[in-house]
Homo-oligomer: A and B are copies of this chain.
């Protein structure tokens, strides 16, 4: 028995749920989870189904093929199929802040993240010890104003070598090029230390402090061309008061950042996120 996760969407149409669930029943699949959502404005149907079934590699291919034929064509339905052993292949990018890296590696080491972390990459050497302490390979690719293109080329080479399909920017303080971003659509997860869309860009805690807000936030999102403009996966907040200085904002924010990034990463690893129109559907 293997577990298969299906993420599908199509123009909304009567009968789609009935037809999909029947198809699965016919193949002796046992539906152990089903959740669906209809975007009524866009008239698009989304569904996540988890099935338990006896799959040989053959039968998996034939299951997919006939699914696409029977349902994909008539419903204009697009579906991703993830067998339970197809886990995300991850790289973690960092700069100098360690709190998110600690959290990711601790949870990974405790078996709480359904993925394989291949390496940590940084434009600084500062966090090398942490990667080593957790026995994860560490690559240092410095980034200077002159060499960003060359540095990205090196990064891409590494990513290809390790067959990475998901990248976590764990407080990585460099902006990726459009070229880079477009190679990994909805596969690069960033944590931004503000309640987006408030305070995009640099130094959000300073801006929040200057504005005199009473609540600060953190936002995890997929990276797109637009700086801090990608689909939001998860947000959370914490209260601040006039007594808190910028350093207090930063300290309080640290706990937010690591929690929010980790939640987003878990949902990504568990194949619970779909993206449409620059928004996420996060099944729970």
Query: Could you list which residues of chain A lie within 8 angstroms of chain B, going by C-beta atoms?
Result: 14-15, 17-18, 21-22, 25, 30-32, 34-38, 40-41, 98-99, 102-103, 106-107, 110, 112, 133-134, 195-199, 211-215, 217, 231-237, 239, 241-243, 245, 251, 254-255, 259, 262-263, 278-282, 284
Please give, as numbers and ranges, the residues of chain B lying within 8 Å of A242 by CB-CB distance. 37, 279-282
Q: Which residue of B has the minimal Cβ distance to A234?
A: B214
Alpha-carbon distance between A221 and B191 when the two chains are bound, in angstroms: 29
Please provide the 5 A-B residue pairs with the shortest distance between their CB atoms, ordered closest to farther.
A212-B279, A102-B106, A198-B198, A18-B21, A242-B281
Please give, as numbers and ranges, the residues of chain B lying within 8 Å of A38 by CB-CB distance. 32
Given contacts A110-B102, A284-B243, contact A235 B213 (CB under 8 A): yes
- Closest chain-B Cβ to A134's Cβ sits at a distance in Å of 7
Please give, as numbers and ranges, the residues of chain B lying within 8 Å of A32 by CB-CB distance. 38
17 residue pairs of the A-B complex, CB under 8 angstroms, read A14-B31, A17-B21, A17-B31, A18-B22, A99-B110, A103-B106, A106-B106, A112-B254, A195-B215, A212-B279, A214-B232, A214-B282, A215-B236, A237-B237, A241-B282, A242-B281, A255-B262
Copies in the complex: 4
- Closest chain-B Cβ to A46's Cβ sits at a distance in Å of 8
Question: A15: which of B25, B99, B254 is its contact (CB, 8 Å)?
Answer: B25
Alpha-carbon distance between A98 and B103 when the two chains are bound, in angstroms: 12
In the bound complex, do residue B197 and residue A214 qualify as a contact, i.e. CB atoms below 8 Å apart? Answer: no
Please give, as numbers and ranges, the residues of chain B lying within 8 Å of A25 by CB-CB distance. 14-15, 18
Please give, as numbers and ranges, the residues of chain B lying within 8 Å of A243 by CB-CB distance. 37, 284
Question: A106: which of B99, B232, B233 is its contact (CB, 8 Å)?
Answer: B99
Q: Identify the interface centre among A25, A214, A243, A254: most chain B CB within 10 Å of its CB.
A: A214
Q: Which residue of B has the minimal Cβ distance to A18?
A: B21
Alpha-carbon distance between A34 and B47 when the two chains are bound, in angstroms: 11
